[in-house]
Structure formats: C-alpha cells, structure tokens
Amino acid sequence: MLVKLKIPAILFSSALLLSGCGGGGGGSSANVAPDTQESVPDSTPVSVAADYRTTEYNTQYGLGKINADDIYADGYSGSGVVVGVIDTGVDIDHPDLVGNIASGGYDYVSGDTDASPTGQGAGMSHGTHVAGIIAGMKNDVGMHGVAYSAKILPLRAGDSSGSFASSAIENSIDRAISQNAKVINASFGGSSISTALADKWKLAHTNDIITVHAAGNDGGSNPLLGAQLPLHSGYEDLSSTLIAVVATNSSNTITSYSNRCGSAKNWCMTAPGDGIYSTVAVDDNNYASNYGTMSGTSMADPHVAGAAAVLRGKWPSKNASEIVTILYDTATDLGAAGIDDIYGRGLLNLDNALFAQGVLTISTASGASYSLADSSIQVASNMGNSLNGLLSMSVFDKYKRDYSFDMNGVIHYASESGLVDELNYSDTNYSSATDDLQLSVNLQDNSAKMTTQLNEVNVGFAHNTLYNSENISGFSKQYSLFDNAYLSQLKGSSSIQIAKDNATLELLSGYWDADNEQAIKEVGVSFLNDFNDDFYIKARLSYLEEDETFLSNYFSNAYKTGKAKTHALSLTSSLKPTANLNIIAQYSQGNTQVDSLSDSVISDISLLKSQYYSATVLNKNVYFDNDALFFSLKHPLQITQGSLNLSLANGLNADDSISFVDRRIPITASALSNEMSLGYTANYAKNSQASVLLNRANVLGSSIQLENQLMLKMTKKF
Amino acid sequence: MRLNRSIKHLSLIIISLFFVACSDVTKPIDTEVYLPIGMDKDGCMRYRLKPTTQMSAQVIIYKSINGGYTPNKNTSNCR
C-alpha cells in the first residue's frame, strides 16, 4: 500500500490530487503538468595525479570535474567495496564491467539471478550506464568509473522502460544489505514513496550503508521524495547517510532539468550529470557501440556513489555517516556562499576529500592527542643523527583519518656555535682583583664571575659562565681550556661555589634555551690533587637534573619526556712542563636515567651512557708577548649507549581505534667524529689583535658532515 | 421530480468531470508516460519518464527517429 509521508504541502500537491482522483492505491500522478523549466592501497602508489589523466579518464569528463586523479595517484579506487546498483539491470558481460561485477546480484523484475537488462526500451541501458560511471574498469578501453576497483552488485528493480516497482526496490535493498554493500546507488525516484520502502531505506541506514539518490529531472526547486526522507518524522537520522544529488553540466552549472537541492540542501550535493559517457548494454539498439552518453540526475548520482566507494575503500574503519560528512565538507562551494538551495553542499571534490582537513594531531597509546605543529624534537649533538630516517607514523585529521607522516620533519638539530659566532667575538673582559675579591665581567656574552674569601673559604658567584672554564685570550668560551661537557650548551645560568682547600662544592641553575624554559640544575663536588706546582688532577662528581630535557635534547608535547637525572664523573689533568706551556686532558662519563611519561609517544628511554674527552696544548709567548698558540683534539659529548622506545600510531583498526606499534631506536651518536682546532692569536699592536683558527668540526643535520673551517680575524679597538 | 432530475444531471456532470480530470489514471498501472521538459541548447525536446504509479529512472530521454524514445541523443529525431 502506498502512503504519503508528511511533507510540506507544496511538495505534495500532486499526491493530494491523486488521492482525490485515484480511488486509493495511487501514489504518483500523471496529471502533473511538466515543469518547463584502504588500509592498504588498491595499487602501489607509483606516480603523480597527471599519470592518471589518461584517455579513459578524459573521455568521461565527469572524472576531471570531481578531481578524481589525486586519490588514484594515492593508490585508492574503491577496492574491497561493494556498491549496490538498484536499477534496470547491468550488462554483467560488458567488457568494461565484467571484471567488476560482484556475485550475488538478482533480477527482481524477472525473478532470477541474472540481473542483466532485457527488452529494448529507453531504460534498457540505464543501469549499465550507471554501473559504468561507478566502476567501469580501468583497462585502457572506453572509459573508467570513479571507483574503478570497486565491485558492482547488480540489482534489477526496473524494467527496460525505466519503471521501478516499489517491492522490487525493497527486495533489492534487503539483498544489498545481505551482500555487504557499503553504498547503494538509487538513480530513480518518484513523487511518492511507500512506508515499506521508506523503512527499507532506514534499514540500509542502520546497516551503515550510504544511499545516494538522484534528485530528479523535474527542474523543480526540491528533490524527489526518496531524497527528502529525512524531512519526515521517524526518518530524520537518514540525513547522515542519505545523499541527494543534483546535476551540473560541464561548466559546473546546474542543468535546467535538474531538481534543486531545496529543502534537502543539508544532505544534498551536485555532480556532473549532463552528457556523461559510459557503458551501455551491448545489445541495446539505442546505441551503435558499447558506450554512449546519457544525461540526468541519474548520471550525477553514480559519481557520488563512486566517490563514496573510493573513500570507504581508503578508510574502511569510517562509518557511513563519517564518509558522508567528509564528502559534504570537502565539496567545492557553488552558487551562493555556503549551503544553498540550488547546489546544497556544493560540487563533489574527491581531491579535497583525500587530503587531510583541519589540525593534524599525534595520538599516543594512552589516548592523549597533540597538535602535530606544536610537537618537535630538538636534537643535541650528543645524539648525533641517530633518529634520522628511522620513523614514520600515522597522524590524524579532524575526521580521525590517518595519514603517514615522516618524523624527520619534526627533528631539528641544535646549531652549534660556528665560526661566524667566533668571528663576531671579541674580548671585552674587564677584571679587577684585590686580596679578597676577584671580579671579571665579559660584556660580549653577558657573563660575570666573582670570588671572595671569607675566612678560609672561597665563595663565588658566576652568571652565564662556569667556574672551571678558562678562555684562551682572543677566543670565545667555546675554546676554553677547561670544559664541563654536560653543561657546555647552557644558554643561561647562575651558580654559586664554595671552596675550601682543594674541595669545591658548586650549585648551578640554568637553562638550555634562550627562553628560560628548559631548566637544568646541577650539584657538583670536585677534589683537586696537587702533585706539584706544575701538575694536578681534579675529579668532579656531578648530579644534573633536567625537567623536560635529557642531556639538552628537547622532546616537546607529543614526544615529551620526564625528568632526567644524570650522574657524571669528570677527570681533568693539567701539566705545565714550562712556564708557557700547558697541557690539559679531560675525560667525562655519565649515566642518565630519564623518566617516561604515559601520555607521550616516547614510551620508554633506557639508561643512557655518555662520554666526552679532549686534550689541549697551549703555548703562550711563542712569537710575541701574550700571543697564544693552541691545538685541541676533542670528542664531543656522545651518547654511547641507550635507546628510545616509541609507541607510534600505525593506522586504524577495523573498529576505528588507533593501532600502535612499538619501535625501539638506538640513539647512540656513532657518527660523531673527533674534532680538531688549531688556533693562534697575537696582540701585534696596541688594541690590535689578529687571530687565525683552523677547525675540523662535526656539522649536524640529517647526516653528519665533518667540515674544515678557516677563520682569519683582525680586530682593532678604538 | 425536477429537483431529482437536476440532481441526476448534476451528478452525471460531476462524475464526467471527475473522469475527464483523472483520465490519465485510467491507463494501465505501468503505462509509460513521457513528459516533455523543454528544449536543450540544440533545440531537441527533452522528456522524462513518468510511470503512472511507479518510480522511474531519472534520465533525460529524446524522441527517436523511429517514433519511440531513447536516452541517446545521437539517435533522436532532432539529429
């Protein structure tokens, strides 16, 4: 029995007239005056979009209008997705369809399993044409469909004239559900719909099927009733999975015959429907070949159905509603800005639908989510380039679609002080000393050091410098005689020192960064053993605590690490064979324990072992008074043992939850080489200084380069 | 009597009008009706299928050379 659904009166004028005339039963009227008006890619991505603009592609101009080529280049074309085509039958032996026909089709007109069209009529090839638009094969013959790797489930519910019986449609929907179709194409419609059929569409909705409905060719301001189901009480939910499709021409303008989106504008979009070239039944007398053109919203409809199939193939864990939302949100706006009465959501745009939308996020195994743009890794030289080239992970857009992301894009390598900085350096030391107070200030690097003696205890304060460093005249602290390898990259610090006899206690608070956010605290105790006036050995025990970094490596937000605790031992020996010659050797070794955080991609960090060593020979007064010649050999602080464990998002599971894989990455800086420096500086005249520096240094990046550097500098102070 | 005759006449007129107005629905249920929906840019009259009781394929149709209907404009009578 046909019943009328409650819809706005203007839409139902024809049905009401029929009620008066027809003696029941009728649902449509002949009296209406004509209106004059993946996931796995389907194929290995091998090339760019242009490679997919083949003759087949260009022959069906609709493919270009919906920008289908990009998603093909990405490797997706509907593989694994079954599209139910409820129509006038599909020529399942058509050479451009035969490979894409799913088993399980049925002919509800003739009542058999052969869903091929029979009988010559204007509608004979309708279903074959629609099927070709959806999934015509990509075989360098004729044309290909939007989802050329999808499978067509042919369900014949219309006869060769193009008339569809409601009961046949209902049976077809049932079969589409039982055959696991993910999309149903409905290139038919009328001015009434039975409750039984409406309920079947609702059943498709509850079975997570996208149903795509032709808006109709009345040139009216609203789609046909099937496309308006969500307007009716009890069927509102269908708006999330039911798409009404109006037809545009090759100029992206609505065709004169197409119904407009009107009251269905929120679940309506447009696609090419005018003069579409596709497959036709081989024995259709209306056509001289196996292909031909047709026009109508019937032809626009399968473009959207095919696009839905492609997206369902690419993101199989997404439900029907989510895929439909993506299609809507990524459509190209046509007509009045925003959702409008003519084009609804706009023109189908597969290119837009492919690409990530909104803010990309990184997800952790604990369920935390971070902005990709706000998460980065700043690698210090002690890790070398150990992270390079190792990792990719899934990041997610606002629809929680997964995209592969190369983590190398978030790795930043610490810039070491190069020779440019050295070139800009000049000694601006001011110092004064009395018996009780020693003070030195360097305006160049805003550092100051002060010591005073209280009874037999030396008390000192240092700002932006280290007590145990001693610059070589004319060179920056990068070339100091003594170094604390674990603190050499400090950008700012304050420390106090208490020394008595040969024992020293030092407390330091500093930052790795100029913004004073990456904090470090250090407690150091050192003991010096004078063997004689010319030779001593100093041992230093340090405890360093970093809040957000480890050994000055900074992993932010999604990669964040917890507190790092380092215990280090440094040995320094100094020998002065002559009054002008000084030989210094240093060796440092440390163990670092880093707390892992549950809401971080970095799920665990093993115990890190690190070491540093250097040797410097300094000779003063070589050619002139107060000149200096030095040679140093240094192996930068290097992590020699340790690894990170990362829990990386790796796509989506079938239930749309995020899949994670664990990756353990060694972070030993094995590629670091010894660095060498040879320098000479002389005050050749009053206030005039000349410096020469030859360097062989590691330059950090995605690969570590050993670079030779030369600096010549002459300065004169006025 | 006159009144009864007038009522009879009036009833006949109403019934006749009713049948005239609803003449299309007297066709067999599945009769195909092709409704003209205007000319295209080449001056070809376009039709759409309008079955009396059922839903229909939403494709544009042309009159064919042999007097029937076809979705193929190339075989229509205006080519």
**Lowest-confidence range among A497-501, A666-670, A675-679, A685-689?**
A685-689
CB of A312 closer than 8 Å to CB of A323: yes
pLDDT higher than 90, residue A203? yes
Residue type, A412: H
Q: Is A158 at the interface with chain B, CB within 8 A?
A: yes
Q: What's the mean pLDDT in A304-311?
A: 98
A43-65 per-position pLDDT tens digit: 554 579 899 999 999 999 999 99
**Complex ipTM more than 0.85, yes or no:** no
Structural domain count, chain B: 1
In a domain, B19, yes or no: no
Q: What's the mean pLDDT in A192-205?
A: 96
Q: What's the mean pLDDT in A461-489?
A: 80
Nearest CB to B56 within list A163, A293, A295: A163
pLDDT higher than 80, residue B43? yes
Active site residue A394: no
Q: Is A253 at the interface with chain B, CB within 8 A?
A: no
In a domain, B53, yes or no: yes
Chain B partners of A290 at a C-beta cutoff of 8 Å? none
Q: Tokens 């022959």 label which residue?
A: A59
List A70, A87, A107, A218, catalytic entry:
A87
In a domain, B17, yes or no: no
**Confidence band for A28, pLDDT divided at 50, 70 and 90:** very low
Q: How far is A214 from chain B (nearest CA, A)?
A: 7
Q: Tokens 């160049």 label which residue?
A: A444
List A94, A126, A144, A213, catalytic entry:
A126
Cross-chain Cβ contact A187/B57 below 8 Å: yes
**Confidence band for A433, pLDDT divided at 50, 70 and 90:** confident
Chain A partners of B70 at a C-beta cutoff of 8 Å? 122, 286
**Mean confidence (pLDDT) of chain A:** 88
Q: The tokens of A231 are what? A: 């307007």
Chain A partners of B60 at a C-beta cutoff of 8 Å? 217, 257, 294-296
Give the pTM.
Answer: 0.78
- pLDDT for B9: 60
Chain B partners of A18 at a C-beta cutoff of 8 Å? 25
- pLDDT for A213: 98
Cross-chain Cβ contact A294/B55 below 8 Å: no
CB of A309 closer than 8 Å to CB of A152: no
Max CA distance (Å), chain A: 124
Q: What's the mean pLDDT in A429-438?
A: 78
> Which residues of chain A from 211 to 250 reach within 8 Å of chain B, CB to CB?
214-219, 224, 226
In a domain, B39, yes or no: yes
Q: Please, what's the b/e burial string for A174-209 (b: 16 or more CB within 10 A of its CB; e: otherwise)?
A: bbbbebebbbbbbbbbbbbbbeebbebbbebbebeb
Residue type, A646: L
CB of A652 closer than 8 Å to CB of A317: yes
**Lowest-confidence range among A36-50, A142-156, A649-663?**
A36-50
Question: Which phi and psi angles does A118 have, rounded to 5°?
Answer: -135, 150
A152-198 per-position pLDDT tens digit: 999 999 999 999 999 999 999 999 999 999 999 999 999 889 999 99
In a domain, B59, yes or no: yes
Name the residue of chain B whose CA is nearest to A86's CA. B57
CB within 8 A of B32, min separation 6: which ones? A161, A162, A163, B49, B50, B51
DSSP class of residue A288 equals S
A117-130 per-position pLDDT tens digit: 999 899 999 999 99
- pLDDT for A624: 85
Chain B partners of A29 at a C-beta cutoff of 8 Å? 24-25
Range of the domain at B55: 34-75
* Distance (Å) of CA A274 to CA A61, A160, A247, A495: 10, 21, 7, 79
Nearest CB to B37 within list A35, A126, A288: A35
Cross-chain Cβ contact A257/B53 below 8 Å: no
A465-478 per-position pLDDT tens digit: 877 677 777 787 77
Active site residue A87: yes
